[in-house]
Structure 1
Amino acid sequence: MAGDMDGEVVKLGAYNVKKGESSVSGLSSGAFMTVQLHLAHSSSFCGAGVIAGGPYRCVEFFRAASAVGEDANELNALHLCMNPLVPQNAPNANRLAELARQTARDGLIDEVTNLAGHRLYIFTGSKDSVVYSSVVARTRDFYHLLGVTTTDIHYDDSVPAGHSIITGNAEDSPLETNQPPYINNGGFIQSHNILQHIYGNLAAPSDRLSGRLMRFDQTEFFGNEPRASMSKYGYAYVPQAVAEGAEARVHIALHGCKQGYNYIDFTFGQSDFASQPPYGNRYITTTGYNSIADSNNIIVLYPQAEGTDDSLTQNPDGCWDWWGYTCADAERPDYYSREAIQIKAIHGMLSRLGG
């Protein structure tokens, strides 16, 4: 496999991609963003994978958390949308499903009727102490309320996993771990299960990759706007057959907090390069997406969020925005809509690829 993790920077290209058959998955903040992107552009997708993520706009379901709306969202994100004191305090799926319908009626996202027939993989580890299973269960309920059938949703809360995407790699963290790099060894490759559920009847993953992992300049998709809190580079895996013109599909894989390629720690608001963890490329290279994509003509797009901690944007852990930190106007948040800076950027990448 040719690779460009640290070499050539290319312009993201166009391929022979099937329209409306793209998909997206993510872990943690990437899972929350998966739901937002899925709802915002449901006409572009046929399915999604949600690992440890809550329902759409969950930070807004309890406005009384603070007199200031921005503060209420942050409090809800930190508590009710991650680790509610009791399961009854988890986000209200009925209320959020109606909020999604209203958002669609307002023309801010695609019609929610598009979700019928989509395939959803939703997972929560029973040992997850970061995003509780009671929250993820509401994500399943939310999609049910918007017309996704029980048959089309694969919901799994049976694995004693911590907060992580699961692999079969012996060098990864023990299954119950709840700490970075949030990649745990559970004896199976979760990314394969996600894509198998969404697409069905996939060929076995490749033992040896044929394609190319490319690094591209993703700033053209968000105008290098600092509040986007996105890295200069993104990554895409393109199988050799797709590069040669074969018909393809696109899967967007969204990392979680502290998992971006150039993630670094912040100490008192300053980049702490001395404590930089050595695992920034593992979500791109070791989670298994590329091997099953290679044998099934699937392009895997890896957009990259970046840690920012300054007067403009407080996102030191490099999370995707699911509570409103990127919004230009805190009184009129748009982080969940087609106009959100991160959603526009990621969908722009998808459109460039042909999806």
Structure 2
Amino acid sequence: MTHRRPLAMAFAVMLGSLAGCSGEPAPTLAAITLDPSRVAVAGLSSGAYMATQVHVSLNTRVHGAALVAGGPYGCAQGQLETALGPCMTAEPGPPDAAMLVANATRRAAAGTIDPLSAFDGDRVLVMHGTGDRVVAPPLAPITAAVLQELSGNEAVVTLDDQQAFGHGWPTRDAGAPCDQPASPWLLDCGIDAAGEAMATMFAADGLPPKAASIADGTLARFDQRELAPEGTAGLADTGFVYTPKACTEGACGVLLAFHGCQQNEEAVGEAFVRDAGFNRWADVHRVVVVYPQTQSSYMPLNPKACWDWWGYGGADYDLKTGGQIRFVAAVLDRLAGTR
């Protein structure tokens, strides 16, 4: 399916003009004063699978996750058929949670993902709408159960799978009708998923403070190419980073927010990075939000610009050695000033 971007998306808008629109190279991602105890990931659909892969593979560095319309870690097992069947539609049957836990446990023992003990104290939100017709809602409790089991019940996992919304990221007031999901895969449901996610991951008491009425930080592009390992499949040339004013002076956390399929800049412009709701809450919680971007391709086959959660970039796609996982690690290194 082809999506046309509104003409206005071709121009720089509020929060400052974005470097790179004229073909000039985007600037490199700048280091911040990073609080390493406040690093988390979030994502929708393929982005939720990506967030899960990052959380599990790099769990000594990532301490929280918010997963909307995704599934459990390792679900696809490197097979597109499995991804499209059990991991999306739960047909001919749902994923085997015990098998997935056993596989991840073996990987941790082999050192291809971080030790499972690092999950201790992590805070995770698993959210899925009852009206989702793309990714089966019964995957949500399996996702939560796998993470709980991997953590030895030491992570705090919240399951929210009884709200009535379709396939997309629920917002207060932006996007398609809540029961009629469509591009840009933001849903106008009166549900502040970003607020719930940020409270789960970053609020000490789990209760959301009052969000800013508007985001008053800076949204900018950054060069993804110089951080990506050579040969990494699927990544666009540039990503986005939102920096609250407070984070230019003091220590802040970091959230990596992964868009879903057909929700990258190429497909929806800046809709996800501006309207998903993270930026207003980032100001409140003192969190820099990084929005990595994918691009569509036919070699490897990824026409909808999904994150690699079935292996189009190589057999180690969901391990620490996988190209997209290594890119995320490089992003965190750069933010921490160690790269």
| TM-score of the superposed pair, with normalisation by structure 1 | 0.85
Matching of residue 135 in structure 1 with residue 139 in structure 2 = yes
Instruction: Please report how far the alpha carbon of residue 18 of structure 1 lies from its aligned counterpart in structure 2 after TM superposition.
Output: 0.6
Shift of the 334–236 alpha-carbon distance from structure 1 to 2, 3 Å rule, reads same
Instruction: Please report how far the alpha carbon of residue 150 of structure 1 lies from its aligned counterpart in structure 2 after TM superposition.
Output: 8.8
Cα distance in 2, alignment partners of residues 231 and 180 from structure 1 = 19
Instruction: Please report how far the alpha carbon of residue 280 of structure 1 lies from its aligned counterpart in structure 2 after TM superposition.
Output: 2.3
Matching of residue 114 in structure 1 with residue 101 in structure 2 = no
Instruction: Please report how far the alpha carbon of residue 179 of structure 1 lies from its aligned counterpart in structure 2 after TM superposition.
Output: 3.3
Match for residue 36 of structure 1 among 28, 33, 53:
53
Residue of structure 1 equivalent to 2:6: none
Instruction: Please report how far the alpha carbon of residue 20 of structure 1 lies from its aligned counterpart in structure 2 after TM superposition.
Output: 3.1
Map residues 229-268 of structure 1 onto 2, 5 A cutoff: 229-243=234-248, 245-263=249-267
Instruction: Please report how far the alpha carbon of residue 185 of structure 1 lies from its aligned counterpart in structure 2 after TM superposition.
Output: 1.0
Residue of structure 2 equivalent to 1:342: 324
Match for residue 195 of structure 2 among 192, 197, 200:
192
Residue of structure 2 equivalent to 1:64: none
Cα distance in 1, alignment partners of residues 214 and 276 from structure 2 = 15
Residue of structure 2 equivalent to 1:4: 18
Cα distance in 1, alignment partners of residues 102 and 153 from structure 2 = 17
Cα distance in 2, alignment partners of residues 199 and 15 from structure 1 = 18
Q: Aligned with 2:63: secondary structure?
A: strand
Q: Aligned with 2:41: secondary structure?
A: strand
Shift of the 18–150 alpha-carbon distance from structure 1 to 2, 3 Å rule, reads closer
Cα distance in 2, alignment partners of residues 167 and 156 from structure 1 = 15
Q: How far does the alpha carbon of each residue in 1:197-229 deviate from its partner, in whole angstroms, 9 at most, with x for none?
A: 11225542222333211101101112463x511
Instruction: Please report how far the alpha carbon of residue 178 of structure 1 lies from its aligned counterpart in structure 2 after TM superposition.
Output: 3.6
Residue of structure 1 equivalent to 2:41: 24
Residue of structure 1 equivalent to 2:149: 145
Residue of structure 2 equivalent to 1:216: 222
Cα distance in 2, alignment partners of residues 128 and 233 from structure 1 = 30
| Runs ≥4 residues deviating over 6 A | none
Residue of structure 1 equivalent to 2:5: none
What is the aligned-residue RMSD (CA, Å)? 1.8
Q: Which amino acid aligns with 2:138?
A: S
Equivalent pair of 1:94/1:145 in contact (CA under 8 Å): no
Cα distance in 2, alignment partners of residues 229 and 151 from structure 1 = 31
Shift of the 326–14 alpha-carbon distance from structure 1 to 2, 3 Å rule, reads same
Identity of aligned residues (%): 29
Shift of the 45–150 alpha-carbon distance from structure 1 to 2, 3 Å rule, reads closer
Q: Which amino acid aligns with 2:83?
A: A
The size of the alignment, in residue pairs, is 317
* Unpaired stretches in structure 2, ≥5 consecutive residues: 1-14
Shift of the 323–151 alpha-carbon distance from structure 1 to 2, 3 Å rule, reads closer
Equivalent pair of 2:121/2:155 in contact (CA under 8 Å): no
Q: Aligned with 1:19: secondary structure?
A: strand
Q: Which amino acid aligns with 2:108?
A: A
Cα distance in 1, alignment partners of residues 233 and 306 from structure 2 = 11
Cα distance in 2, alignment partners of residues 223 and 46 from structure 1 = 24
Q: How far does the alpha carbon of each residue in 1:256-310 deviate from its partner, in whole angstroms, 9 at most, with x for none?
A: 00001123xxxxxxxxxxxxxxx32111000110111012211000000111113
Equivalent pair of 1:260/1:280 in contact (CA under 8 Å): yes
Equivalent pair of 2:43/2:258 in contact (CA under 8 Å): yes
Equivalent pair of 1:231/1:305 in contact (CA under 8 Å): yes
Q: Which amino acid aligns with 1:234?
A: G
Residue of structure 2 equivalent to 1:292: 281
| TM-score of the superposed pair, with normalisation by structure 2 | 0.89
Cα distance in 1, alignment partners of residues 18 and 262 from structure 2 = 21
Residue of structure 2 equivalent to 1:206: 212
Residue of structure 1 equivalent to 2:180: 177
Shift of the 93–322 alpha-carbon distance from structure 1 to 2, 3 Å rule, reads same
Instruction: Please report how far the alpha carbon of residue 58 of structure 1 lies from its aligned counterpart in structure 2 after TM superposition.
Output: 0.7
Equivalent pair of 2:171/2:190 in contact (CA under 8 Å): yes
Q: How far does the alpha carbon of each residue in 1:138-166 deviate from its partner, in whole angstroms, 9 at most, with x for none?
A: 10110121126498211111111111100
Equivalent pair of 2:221/2:241 in contact (CA under 8 Å): yes
Equivalent pair of 1:129/1:178 in contact (CA under 8 Å): no
Q: Which amino acid aligns with 1:323?
A: W
Q: Which amino acid aligns with 2:185?
A: Y
Shift of the 28–151 alpha-carbon distance from structure 1 to 2, 3 Å rule, reads same
Matching of residue 322 in structure 1 with residue 309 in structure 2 = yes
Q: Aligned with 1:228: secondary structure?
A: coil
Cα distance in 1, alignment partners of residues 134 and 269 from structure 2 = 20
